Copies of this chain bind each other. A is one copy, B any other.
């Protein structure tokens, strides 16, 4: 299903919440209340986001979490990678692909191309986009539909 893990979902919601009020730190407990999720889970998510350098934390009273950089400089890929590791569709999508099916696979290169396209797309979607509270309903067909694979264009 290409599904994101639940924690990634939480991360997006939490990041968006912070992005909408970027001027002061947000404590984990406060965020948990705002997004209506259990505190320990929110806390765990926040820690992962800090480790990925998407948030910075401030300890002590009045402490909390802040965006590490502007929302427009944080991409969907960043958030997904922070929670699930690199965005890749197949096991052999990463550079040092040591898949023992290489010889008989025959689709590896093409999947990687598809994977790359999606990654590039997600790089272009920023937290600023995600955090917008007045979403415009999309038409069913996006301009993306007109994109062609290099392989296709060359036929």
- A→B interface (CB under 8 Å): 1-4, 6, 9, 12-13, 16-17, 20, 34-37, 76, 80, 84-91, 101, 103-107, 109-111, 113-118, 120-125, 129-133, 135-145, 147-152, 154
Chain B nearest CB from A31 CB (Å) reads 10
Question: Which residue, A36, A125, A144, A154, has most C-beta atoms of chain B within 10 A?
Answer: A144
CB contact between A151 and one of B110, B121, B135 (< 8 Å): that residue:
B135
Chain B nearest CB from A101 CB (Å) reads 6
Known: A1-B84, A1-B88, A125-B149. 6 other contacts (CB 8 A): A2-B2, A35-B104, A36-B101, A109-B137, A117-B121, A129-B149
Known A-B contacts A118-B121, A139-B150, A143-B148; A132 and B104 likewise in contact (beta carbons under 8 Å): no
CB contact between A88 and one of B3, B133, B144 (< 8 Å): that residue:
B3
The answer to whether A17 touches B144, judged by C-beta atoms less than 8 angstroms apart, is no
